[in-house]
Structure 1
Amino acid sequence: MSMRISKKQSLSPFEDDELDDNNIEVPKGWLRRSIYYITMSPSDLQLIIYEHIESIDWDSKAVNVARPLGIGATVTFYLLRLIQDNVVKPNYYKTRRNQNMFDLSKSETLRKMEYLKHYSSSTISVEMSQYNWFKTTDRAINYLLYLILLINIKIAYTYIYKQYKLYSIFGMKPTKQSPNLTKKSLDDLSKSYYRDISKKNIWSMIKYFLFEKANGDMLDRELNDKYFYTLNKWNPAKFTTQLFVLFNPMIRGFLWLTDVSFVTILIVILSWVILDVVILRGYETKLIDEAIISAATINDINKKIVDPSVNRIFQNVMVDATDRKHSYVKFDPTIAHNPIFETHSLNGDLIREKYNKRTFEFEDVPDETNSHNRIIN
């Protein structure tokens, strides 16, 4: 539908073609595009990267990307711990223990024998090189394990604490209690209710008393018709759910604290199966089933209650108004909605338009009186 000042004068919201794609210069070629991004300001480049990341449909990549990443990270952690416990540490401690044993080079009598001196020096040099190699390898494996643990903690923290959607509830009082349900004052949004703060964890209370209490007062009394509710609903994405199940911090802790062997992989696989059945196939399927039931219920309500009262059924009738003995009456098929859109211009004129599917534009409807026969059920 068009925006008009009057019935005959139209108004375009973009007179200068500000959003015309033809006016946007896009560099072509990888060299020009690279120079374009290099000369761009860091804030613009950060905005482009952020928009690109946010525009990706991560839920569609949950199975193809998240599952291989989670399995690969867990298997990598398992192999590093297996090598560390069965190859690196035994030899590392063995060479370290040999260094603390009796040193033959300290004996005055044995130092007089040249062949023993040569033998002891060569043996010590070989042991020192092995010791340094195993020590460096063990340190490198520890660094890799720490890095994987930090990534795992970040994923778990994001999955549990950072994926929420905030809903505002007006005009009703929820009948069920939830720790994510908070009452807010309409007079001052900075105020909070002590009862809602006390339902949260100890860290939320400490954070409130240290940082947020100065911004508003706690209310212990009810304010009639001057409050609303906010529901902070936990809504984890499918991508992070797959990562959390297959790259679980409990598995990391188990592999970190125990001696890893070839049999340990069976426990890892068993934990994968349990989490997959409980979270992915059980809980997520339950949410999908509830969404299907809710959609079917809403659709049934719309068909039986909303549509009959909102979308009135009309039928066009052509009636012969002459004085002939046998009058002519023609009934057109009934329609469930009126295809004519009525709007008002800035001057208050009534504008009646109809969408043309051939030209993909709205066209004015001539000012004529059409007879309608309303069907009342």
Structure 2
Amino acid sequence: MKFLVIEQDLRVSGTSQGIISRSFLAKLRRAYPNSIIDVVYFKQYSSEDQLDLLPVDSIESFVLNLKTPFFTKWLNKIYWRLFHISLVRNHIHKVYGSYIAKIDYHEYDHIFIRSAGLDCETILGAKDLPILKNAVITFNEPYPLFWCTGSSSPLTSLELFKLKEMFEVVTHAKSCLATALLAEDMQYLYGSRKKFHALPHQYDKNVFDLSDVSAVLKKKKKIMISYHGAIQFGRDIEVLLDAYEELVTKNPLYKENTEFVLRVKGIDVKKLIAKYSRTPNIIVLYTLNFSNSCNEQMHEADINIILENGPLYCNILVGKAPFLAAILKPILSISPERSEMRRIIIDDKYIASCTDKEEIKQKLENLIVSRMDSNEAVYPFGDYFSDENFKVMLDKVLF
């Protein structure tokens, strides 16, 4: 078999999408070891992405010039208000499309066009091209932005035009792919008569250089609780920190033996530090590169935290889930009532409601006590992220 994979993000750090996409290629190779895998990689600026670590047969990388001409930007100020069409977006999609149109796709058995971020430029760049009818298109976020959990984006005529535009893409694509809950919602949103298939994100350590440990924080207490990631789209870190603060305030055992280390972005970190300055067990720091972050969570942390979008529902699979599944340590997912984590976590002790501080406190305390007694490997997700399950689910898409 011959695979063509069109990628938009293969970075090694600073992005969960890069981690997901690199791991997808590794898992694709493992699932079909004798296949040919060719990759076309579009990026918006030059970067060192360690592409030599990817187990593919060939990879072509293009840095796209997405600068919009001055006249187009000037005209767009009036045009989008009158016609609800953004000339700037159209220009960007045409740039992507001009590169995609040059690909000789006829020789491939299977084609993946994978999106990155919230704008789906690779998918929309293929909108009017013949490659689309042979392609499996992948959504990693809801589109358009109005439907993204926790978003404050208004439902404008421009957003509705985006919906209509993507409907044409969905209609003409060979098939569509997303994580499980998102696949259901997107199929309903676009009124699709073809099935949106489900495929979870993946993590594979072999496509990363994890040798940099220069900034890893060594734990100072018996138990380190750890959160690494962004605070955005309705993720509430403060209800969790308030619950932990009550635990260490009321119980000297937890104050003496535990610490909570946060590596965060997307919020005013200084304000968070100031709010919890009275509790030295809470350590708020800035984020690390992927190698240091991995090593800190793998070798120093005892309990890792997942924050899902909220507060009402989360239909995306957070990018760190497959990584945390791979390191076999306890997790606590702070989740809304309807969420991807609630579907795939097999034991209720690893998940708590994002609006219930008392439940969070109880679940966190139970994990702390359990971890003090045992360092044995745990499997919060069962075999959901296993190689075998990946191949079973991907076969359903391809065959």
- Report the TM-score, using the length of structure 2 for normalisation: 0.21
- Report the TM-score, using the length of structure 1 for normalisation: 0.22
Whichever structure has more helix as a proportion of its residues is: 1
Structure of higher RCO (CA pairs closer than 8 Å, 6+ residues apart) = 1
